[in-house]
């Protein structure tokens, strides 16, 4: 009798342990599936007509966006968005990245989920010299996933003659080929040279978009 009771208790304990282990594995898989899906926010200057329609834009607004871009600032894009739009939801889908070093603190609150406190922290750590610095400083307040989400909405301008390839590639919509061309024509004595050389590869509108991401020290 005693042996049978001990066996039954042991069997129940094993089954309970297996169930707990199974539950833990399911929770781990669930968490993994959530964290494995990065938030994608369209860049209003780069999104295709199909992508713009895919987030619910009317044909009329799609036409306006394409006609008026590049938007040199998010404020210019915001002025085009109808007043009755739920901007918290809309800007979770599309945005024009903010310059971390020059954007007004109040404007950072246009980023979905950014309130007074976080907008202040964005401004507090200026000047930013790289996106890595942004990750480090803002990572003190939010987890890696949230920092990655914020990176859809901001950029750090790079110094044309000294920026690392990594920092150049971190700029919005920057391809490996274009990052190579940025480095290829160093040193840049002035922005006129940048416009001259990079215009060999892109049209005037794209050149204007790219120019907002760069500067030359001591100019």
Residues contacting residue 99 through CB under 8 Å, at least 6 positions apart? 154, 155, 156, 157, 212
Q: What is the pLDDT of residues 114-130, one digit of tens each?
A: 999 999 999 999 999 99
Query: What spatial distance separates the first Cα and last Cα of the chain, rounded to whole Å?
Result: 91
Identical topology for domains 98-155 and 158-215: yes
pTM score, whole prediction: 0.81
Q: What is the pLDDT of residues 57-115, one digit of tens each?
A: 999 999 999 999 999 999 999 999 999 999 999 999 999 999 999 999 999 999 999 99
- pLDDT for position 42: 98
| CATH number for the domain running over 98-155 | 1.10.150
Q: How confident is the model at residue 12 (pLDDT cuts 50, 70, 90)?
A: low
- Tell me the domain boundaries of the chain: 39-96, 98-155, 158-215
Q: Where are the alpha helices (DSSP H) in 91-143?
A: 116-124, 131-138
Cα 34 to Cα 43: distance, rounded to the nearest angstrom: 23
| CATH number for the domain running over 158-215 | 1.10.150.320
Q: Name the β-bridge partners of 158.
A: 214
């Amino acid at each position: 009798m005693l042996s049978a009771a001990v066996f039954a208790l042991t069997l129940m304990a094993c089954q309970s342990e297996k169930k707990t282990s199974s539950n833990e594995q399911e929770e781990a898989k669930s968490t993994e599936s959530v964290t494995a899906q990065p938030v994608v926010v369209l860049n209003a200057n780069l999104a295709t007509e199909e992508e713009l329609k895919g987030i619910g834009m009317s044909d009329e607004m799609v036409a306006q966006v394409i006609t008026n871009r590049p938007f040199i600032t998010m404020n210019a894009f915001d002025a085009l968005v109808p007043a009755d739009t739920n901007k918290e939801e809309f800007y979770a889908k599309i945005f024009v990245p903010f310059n971390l070093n020059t954007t007004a603190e109040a404007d950072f609150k246009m980023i979905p989920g950014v309130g007074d406190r976080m907008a202040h922290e964005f401004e507090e750590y200026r000047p930013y010299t790289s996106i890595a610095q942004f990750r480090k400083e803002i990572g003190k307040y939010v987890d890696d996933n949230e920092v990655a989400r914020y990176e859809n909405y901001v950029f750090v301008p790079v110094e044309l003659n000294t920026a690392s390839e990594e920092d150049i590639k971190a700029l919005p919509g920057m391809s490996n080929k274009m990052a190579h061309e940025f480095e290829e024509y160093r040193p840049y004595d002035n922005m006129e040279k940048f416009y001259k050389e990079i215009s060999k590869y892109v049209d005037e509108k794209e050149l204007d978009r790219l120019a907002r991401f760069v500067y030359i020290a001591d100019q």
